[in-house]
Amino acid sequence: MTNPSLLILAGDGIGPEVMDQVKRIITWYGDKRDLAFDVSEDLVGGAAYDKHGVPLHDDTMAKAQAVDAVLLGAVGGPAYDDLDFSVKPERGLLRLRKEMDLFANLRPAQCFDALADFSSLKKELVAGLDIMIVRELTSGVYFGEPRGIHIEDNMRVGINTQRYTEAEIERGARAAFEMAMKRNKKLCSMEKANVMESGILWRDVVTEVHADYPEVELSHMYADNGAMQLVRAPKQFDVIYTDNLFGDILSDCAAMLTGSLGMLPSASLGAPMANGRPKAMYEPVHGSAPDITGQSKANPIACILSFAMALRYSFDQGDEAARLEAAIEKVLADGARTGDLMGPEGGKPLSTTEMGDAILAALDASL
């Protein structure tokens, strides 16, 4: 049997630094759990621009289409800020998402007990929090036509169009129901059916798809109320399914309930490939953090948790994903902290590599 394949695109800034720690974890799984991956690496973002003059070479795109999963670090940085829009580092990322048709963006908001004090909410509201937001990623108001700015009656008018087909709503809904089945079987769909026709269609289609998942408890909520509930009592949610625009906002809001940007993973999934695995790209939510690049200060946990998501959602290794998450929980409970996780009590922060060392030691201890 051939090993599952991974394409690593470490990118720019702290991307390669945090990805180095992920590579150590991948090696650990091969050595200690008989779970080896065929790993290849390539360039994306500014690093690809420097070599090829484009933020994603066609050959890299072809490799991304051929592997079982892509792991991405981060793209961008001040050196590329003045580039033409068409070759900016972010275009590489958008091309990957678009051509792989990654329509379901999974953004977990999980609060490790040891970090509950970092939340802007009271500790008891967030300790143990574990929400998954499934955001539709390839349609809606960010893509709908007509769009643009034009003149009407001597006045500028800005236009964007919220447009969803039932097929687009349905495929995302199926991803969300499948997610709920793997978790606590509760799904809350959020839209604005009170004021938007696309919201009425959204609610209808999600309700229709529910017939195929009778075990899942489905609720509907207006997205504005959803925002309120997320900061009032976030633990009421298990899986949330929402559109591109509301998902953009609600997932950032939910994410910050949990503290640091250095802790947040994400996955973007598409349709199943011939081998049954979904097209998939896993990446931390944070950017390339130019302010700390090259100083070994970056927290590698968001990127490592993104690999844990790959284990669970691409490779059906839920137990091994849980092992990795438990190792991270353990090192945090033992007080290991990178600079971004330092509280007012101070202390000496761990370097990126030292945090990797601690997680590997906790993995060894789990055997």
- Residues annotated as catalytic (active site), given as ranges: 142, 192, 224, 248, 252
What is the rounded distance in angstroms from the CA atom of residue 46 to the CA atom of residue 11? 7
Q: How far is the CB of 77 from ligand NAD (least distance, A)?
A: 5
Q: How far is the CB of 224 from ligand NAD (least distance, A)?
A: 26
Q: How many binding residues for ligand NAD (CB under 6 A)? A: 22
Determine which residue in the list 290, 342, 349, 361 makes contact with ligand NAD, applying CB under 6 A.
Answer: 290
251 counts as binding ligand NAD under rule CB under 6 A: no
Q: Which of residues 300-359 bind ligand NAD (CB under 6 A)?
A: 302, 340
> Which range touches ligand NAD (CB under 6 A), out of 107-115, 120-128, 296-304, 322-330?
296-304
Q: How far is the CB of 305 from ligand NAD (least distance, A)?
A: 11
In the chain the first and final C-alpha atoms are separated, in Å, by 25
Say which amino acid occupies 231: V
Determine which residue in the list 55, 77, 92, 108 makes contact with ligand NAD, applying CB under 6 A.
Answer: 77
Q: Quick one: which of 291, 44, 249 has its CA closest to 141? A: 249
> Which range touches ligand NAD (CB under 6 A), out of 1-9, 75-83, 180-188, 197-205?
75-83
Structure tokens that stand for 353 in this block = 């590599």
266 counts as binding ligand NAD under rule CB under 6 A: no
Q: Which residues of 200-217 are buried (b: 16+ CB within 10 A; e: fewer)?
A: ebbbebbeebbeebeebe
What is the rounded distance in angstroms from the CA atom of residue 243 to the CA atom of residue 165? 12
**Is the Cβ of residue 278 or residue 339 nearer to ligand NAD in the bound state?**
339
Helix axes 166-182, 197-210, angle to 10 degrees: 50
**Is the Cβ of residue 108 or residue 287 nearer to ligand NAD in the bound state?**
287
Q: How far is the CB of 324 from ligand NAD (least distance, A)?
A: 17
**Is the Cβ of residue 178 or residue 340 nearer to ligand NAD in the bound state?**
340
**Is the Cβ of residue 291 or residue 316 nearer to ligand NAD in the bound state?**
291
The residues pairing with 269 across neighbouring beta strands, listed in sequence order, are 104, 280
Dihedral sign, Cα of residue 237, residue 301, residue 72, residue 14: positive
Instruction: Write out the residues near ligand NAD by the rule CB under 6 A.
Output: 14, 18, 74-77, 90, 93, 261-262, 283, 286-292, 298-299, 302, 340
